[in-house]
Amino acid sequence: MRAMPQPSAPRRTTGRPPRISREQVLDTARRIVDEDGVDRLTMRRLATEIGSTPMALYHHVSNKEELLVLLLDDYAARTLRRPRMPDRPRERVVLAAATIHEVLAACPWIVPVLTADDLMAASALWFVEQIVDGLVECGLTPERAVHGYRAIWYYTAGEIVVRTTAARRRADDDRPTYRERVFADLDPSETPRLAQVADHWAPLTAEDTYMEGLRALVDGLLATR
Amino acid sequence: MRAMPQPSAPRRTTGRPPRISREQVLDTARRIVDEDGVDRLTMRRLATEIGSTPMALYHHVSNKEELLVLLLDDYAARTLRRPRMPDRPRERVVLAAATIHEVLAACPWIVPVLTADDLMAASALWFVEQIVDGLVECGLTPERAVHGYRAIWYYTAGEIVVRTTAARRRADDDRPTYRERVFADLDPSETPRLAQVADHWAPLTAEDTYMEGLRALVDGLLATR
DNA sequence: GCTACTTTTCTTACATGTACAAAAACGCTC
DNA sequence: GAGCGTTTTTGTACATGTAAGAAAAGTAGC
């Protein structure tokens, strides 16, 4: 059973005194990511730069994934600024989601974290509150409002994950993917619409249409069918 | 420059004759995944079961990720059945997306593939066509229809990725995550709505609300604002 | 048969996350 | 100070994906 001390747990008096702290680990990790990107963040390098050994880190974070979660929370806490909220609740929902999206989309290294967990960073809770509250004020029951928030989160996380990974793919490897080849020689008699837009497909899918989709989703959630 | 022969390329007459084929690799990989799950699929084991060496595989698939993409396409081709399409175009959009979602959600091992690429499996193109065509028939321009399809795909992929990974997380590790702890002690004065639903949060987010969100999104995409 | 070339396979090696156990460094009790 | 329990650190080891290059096994031209 691993210890995993709380960030501000009272100092233990017993046992070997720690030479490194979780804060130190996070600070160094953040610097490495800032300077060289998340790909260069390895447990060995992190340990070396701290002046310790890889396995020592595991007494301060339970594994690399949790380290990334903590980094994201830290990033969100530093970057997320609460905007002035509009009066109309529907616009509050849109603005809260858009703000979260804007901040997350700006740091592509969060992708594994996004897939790993819900957005429960302490600093993001206020935005979740705004979304749920806005939906309730528009007439949804609290239950449906939570479901609505989930839908917004799925859409937001999916947009970031799919888009960022596709972009990284193109950057890593300029050969056309298998999927691109499939799309290139599609059969116009089977899929006439796709054949029709095939030439514009790449630029069309490269456009940033997050806001349009978000507004559509919120509209649909609030429409009384 | 790696060769990467087309699946049905004409047999080369020169060079050392291959002892294994891409088909054989895929068949064995599929069997391993079926029997023991995707976690047990390693390049070494795959090579051993084929009776070859790990690096020999790399002449038939460019890397493990592409292997998974091919597995997914193969799975989709075997599993996806085209349902009878409703007359109303809006319902066609919903049914096409729901069918794709149903098939993908049933095999959780596709998550890394979903994040890695767009849904361009040859067998799925017909469904993409149905979505784009349905949106066009409802009055969207082809460009907006493609954007609409993208939004639906973001939502669908996000739902599967977030939900599957969260489920796996809970299965792997029964300790509460850092995020859960954050949510557990939230401040009712800061986030009253969340505090209000905090008790029901877990069951609420465990519910499968994909269809509701999908309908809302489609409604919103088709609403003329 | 011999050489050149091509394609596939095999061998070796490395970077990475992390499991496991031993060792080290402290306070406590006697 | 000796022994003990606790906590942190360290050293070793393993599984994994895959890069790099050598080796093998064929064909084509002579």
Query: Are B32 and B107 part of one and the same domain?
Result: no
- Nucleotide nearest A43, from its CA to each C1': C17
Contact B196 A142 (CB under 8 A): yes
Per-residue flag: B18 CB under 7 A of strand C: yes
For residue B198, give Cα distances in angstroms to A142, A143, A147, A168, B186: 11, 11, 13, 37, 9
For residues A206 and B209, which has the higher predicted lDDT (pLDDT)? B209
Q: Which residue's CA shows the smallest distance to C1' of D25?
A: B16
pLDDT at A3: 46
pLDDT at A23: 96
Domain assignment present for A202 = yes
Query: Are B46 and B112 part of one and the same domain?
Result: no
User: Locate tokens 């429960």: which residue?
Assistant: A120
Looking at the complex, report in whole angstroms how far the Cα of residue B16 sits from the nearest Cα belonging to chain A.
Answer: 25
Q: How far is the CA of A179 from the C1' of D3 (A)?
A: 68
Domain assignment present for A205 = yes
> Which SS3 state, helix, strand or coil, does residue B116 take?
helix
Contact A153 B156 (CB under 8 A): no
pLDDT at A8: 46
Instruction: Give the separation between CA B225 and CA B221, rounded to whole angstroms.
Output: 9
When CB atoms are compared, the residue of B69, B133, B186 closest to A125 is B186
Query: Are B50 and B92 part of one and the same domain?
Result: no
Domain assignment present for A53 = yes
Among B residues 176-215, those touching chain A with beta carbons less than 8 Å apart:
177-180, 182-183, 186, 190-194, 196-197, 200-201, 204-205, 207, 209, 212-213, 215
Residue A27 contacts B where some CB pair is shorter than 8 Å: no
Q: What percent of chain B has a predicted confidence (pLDDT) above 70?
A: 87
Contact B151 A155 (CB under 8 A): yes
Q: How many structural domains is chain A composed of?
A: 2
A-chain residues within 8 Å CB-CB of B180?
Answer: 120
Per-residue flag: B14 CB under 7 A of strand C: yes
Q: Which nucleotides of C are covered by protein (CB under 7 A)?
A: 5-12, 15-21, 23-28
Amino acid at A42: T
Looking at the complex, report in whole angstroms how far the Cα of residue B114 sits from the nearest Cα belonging to chain A.
Answer: 8
pLDDT at A171: 72
Residue B97 contacts A where some CB pair is shorter than 8 Å: no
Domain assignment present for A15 = no
Q: Which residue's CA shows the smallest distance to C1' of C5?
A: B15
Domain assignment present for B214 = yes
Judged against a pLDDT cut of 70, whether residue A225 lies above it is answered with no
Q: Is A194 exposed, middle or buried (0-12, 13-18, 19+ CB in 10 A)?
A: buried
- Nucleotide nearest B9, from its CA to each C1': C7
Query: Are B213 and B143 part of one and the same domain?
Result: yes
Domain assignment present for B143 = yes
Range of the domain at B119: 82-222
Domain assignment present for A160 = yes
Residue B133 contacts A where some CB pair is shorter than 8 Å: yes
Query: Are B49 and B155 part of one and the same domain?
Result: no
Looking at the complex, report in whole angstroms how far the Cα of residue B134 sits from the nearest Cα belonging to chain A.
Answer: 10
Contact present, A89 and A134 (Cβ < 8 Å) = yes
Provide CB contacts within 8 A for B194, sequence distance 6+.
Answer: A125, A128, A129, A132, B183, B186, B201
- Nucleotide nearest A57, from its CA to each C1': D9
pLDDT at A173: 64
Looking at the complex, report in whole angstroms how far the Cα of residue A162 sits from the nearest Cα belonging to chain B.
Answer: 5
CATH number of domain containing B196 = 1.10.357.10
Least confident among A25-39, A121-135, A177-191, B190-204: A177-191
pLDDT at B177: 63
CATH number of domain containing A26 = 1.10.10.60
Judged against a pLDDT cut of 80, whether residue B1 lies above it is answered with no
Residue of B nearest to A198 (CA): B146
Query: Are B40 and B131 part of one and the same domain?
Result: no
Query: Are B34 and B109 part of one and the same domain?
Result: no
What band does B178 get if pLDDT is binned at 50, 70 and 90? low
Query: Are B55 and B108 part of one and the same domain?
Result: no
Residue A90 contacts B where some CB pair is shorter than 8 Å: no
For residue B76, give Cα distances in angstroms to A8, B52, B70, B119, B154: 49, 28, 10, 10, 18
pLDDT digits (tens, 9 = 90+) for A88-137: 999 999 999 999 999 999 887 888 777 766 666 778 899 999 999 999 99
Looking at the complex, report in whole angstroms how far the Cα of residue A120 sits from the nearest Cα belonging to chain B.
Answer: 5
Query: Are A202 and A131 part of one and the same domain?
Result: yes
Contact present, B121 and A182 (Cβ < 8 Å) = yes
Judged against a pLDDT cut of 80, whether residue B3 lies above it is answered with no
Contact B217 A220 (CB under 8 A): yes
For the stretch A1-9, contacts whose Cβ atoms lie closer than 8 Å and that sit 24 or more positions apart, written own/partner, are A2/A58, A2/A59, A2/A62, A3/A59, A4/A62, A5/A60
Least confident among A17-26, A210-219, B126-135, B183-192: B183-192
Domain assignment present for B77 = no
Query: Are B108 and B153 part of one and the same domain?
Result: yes
Contact A126 B223 (CB under 8 A): no
Q: Which nucleotides of D are covered by protein (CB under 7 A)?
A: 5-12, 15-21, 23-28
What band does A217 get if pLDDT is binned at 50, 70 and 90? very high
- Nucleotide nearest B39, from its CA to each C1': D16
Choose the most confident range, by mean pLDDT, from A57-66, A174-183, B116-125. A57-66
Query: Are A191 and A126 part of one and the same domain?
Result: yes
Query: Are B153 and B201 part of one and the same domain?
Result: yes
A-chain residues within 8 Å CB-CB of B194?
Answer: 125, 128-129, 132
